[in-house]
Chains A and B, each alone.
Chain A
Amino acid sequence: MTDQIETTLAGLRVPAPHGVLPNVLAATGLADRYVQRDSVVGPVYVAFGGDGVTRLDIAMSESQFESEYEEMMGRPVVKVDDVPPALVTRVDRAISEGRPGRLAVDLSSLTDFQQAVLRKTAEIPPGEVRPYGWVAREIGKPGAVRAVGTALARNPVPLIIPCHRVVRSDGQFGQYSLGDAANKPRLLREEGVDLEGLESLATRRVRYTGSDTTKIYCHPTCRHARRTMEIHQVEFKSEKAAEKAGYRACKVCRPAVAA
């Protein structure tokens, strides 16, 4: 027996809001979450799981980001609006400063080598650059310059781990994985790197600058090098040339393994 009232009651069935599935999967830990934030290079998606930020990419199509993420990480990712404000603050800060700071970054899906490259890169302060070879040597693999480049090109969390601060030793910027290649110089300029100055040094094949008062040589963008007055600044084309001239390597930017 079906009468009018039963038909009307059946019509009271409605679809669940779209947020239910993502919220449930995120809360159970079965999916990672992502939010959209702003950056110098435009809106970005930032994804995170239980152990920290897993990925950052230019905000484009949500479905594309989600399917790429699942393919790469082996876990679904869902967009969420409400995340703890403290986390959002840390994310925004990490993006604007270009270093993880207090933000946990989860690199566990990467190889030990990739992790070492990225951790070392995260130490480069804003406004400074280092050559690929520097990263290779610092992690104890001086011959792996090319592999360092590959690892940085696959940086899952650009901006937060500042792979834009690693450049070619000939003064060219090298590749950049986040959006347009021009984003790399754009980010560096935004941080106050003197791009013209760097280019001028590179065309003269100068790799290091030193101070004739301290007899210390640095990477040109090292904060100590930048403090040197122009009349005291000397230029070197190699570590050897600097050592030969009686200069020692800066202990902060470590152009060579400092004693």
Chain B
Amino acid sequence: MTTTTPIPDATTLTAALAEDVDRAFPALVRALQDDIYSGALRLTRDPHAAQDITQETFLRAYTALGLYPPQRIRDLSLRGWVWTIAANLCRNRARSRSRKPEAALEAAPPVADRRPGPEPEAMASIERDRLADLIGDLPWAMASAVVLRHVVDLAYEDIAEALDRPVGTVKSDVHRGLQRLRAQLEEESS
């Protein structure tokens, strides 16, 4: 089992960042922007908020990298570290939103097409939309763990770092979250 989540050329990227943050930073944004946006979108259910959070995450990462000594940058597990920032922004937004339950749900953009044929694709799309809605109704602890594990595809160790929870807790949050989602989907289809 991997201890951290690899991104293409992660070591090269941290090495490049340690060498020259300004030069390597665009590559960091390119490598992680889909990650952050997808996770933020599923946790906020709002494309505008997700884009804002994605941008703000990178701005904060840039500022932090500028202050870190090179060795510290080399030792970073990039995805887990960047998600520490992103998860905080998502949670803050979820908190401020939960006090305003009337907030409108905006339509999520179409998800990536990974299946052949119009009919299975249409079914899968409906299923994904439904699931996206259900995630938003989960308590933060479960929603964040499920999204980081299964949408963003982070390793448990990275999620633990990002959410500042022990690995065991994260695993059980993912497990309980999935259980709840399954139960709700079954309840609806029966």
A binds B: yes
B51 touches A19 (CB 8 A): yes
A sample of 30 cross-chain residue pairs with beta-carbon separation below 8 angstroms, ordered by A number, consists of A5-B178, A5-B181, A8-B124, A10-B151, A11-B111, A11-B112, A12-B128, A12-B132, A13-B38, A13-B112, A13-B153, A14-B34, A14-B110, A14-B112, A15-B34, A16-B34, A16-B51, A16-B54, A17-B37, A17-B51, A20-B37, A20-B51, A20-B58, A21-B26, A24-B29, A24-B55, A24-B59, A25-B25, A28-B62, A76-B26
**Residues of A bordering B, CB below 8 Å:** 5-6, 8-17, 19-21, 23-25, 27-28, 30, 76
Bound Cα distance from A149 to B102, whole angstroms = 65
Minimum CB distance partner of B26 in chain A: A25
Bound Cα distance from A143 to B13, whole angstroms = 53
B29 touches A8 (CB 8 A): no
Classify the interface of chain B: helix, strand, loop or mixed. Answer: helix
A13 touches B151 (CB 8 A): yes
Q: Give the distance to chain A from B43, nearest Cβ to Cβ, in Å.
A: 11
A5 touches B185 (CB 8 A): yes
* B42 proximal to A (CB < 8 A): yes
Classify the interface of chain A: helix, strand, loop or mixed. Answer: helix
Bound Cα distance from A10 to B25, whole angstroms = 27
Q: Give the distance to chain B from A3, nearest Cβ to Cβ, in Å.
A: 8
A11 touches B114 (CB 8 A): yes
Q: Give the distance to chain B from A55, nearest Cβ to Cβ, in Å.
A: 20
Q: Which residues of B contact A8 (CB under 8 A)?
A: 124, 127-128, 131
Pick from A5, A13, A30: contact of B26, CB under 8 Å:
A30
Pick from A13, A27, A30, A76: contact of B55, CB under 8 Å:
A27
Q: Which residues of A contact B181 (CB under 8 A)?
A: 5
Bound Cα distance from A13 to B135, whole angstroms = 14
B33 touches A6 (CB 8 A): no
A14 touches B26 (CB 8 A): no
Q: Given the known A-B contacts A5-B178, A6-B150, A8-B124, are A13 and B111 also in contact in the complex, defined by CB atoms under 8 Å?
A: yes
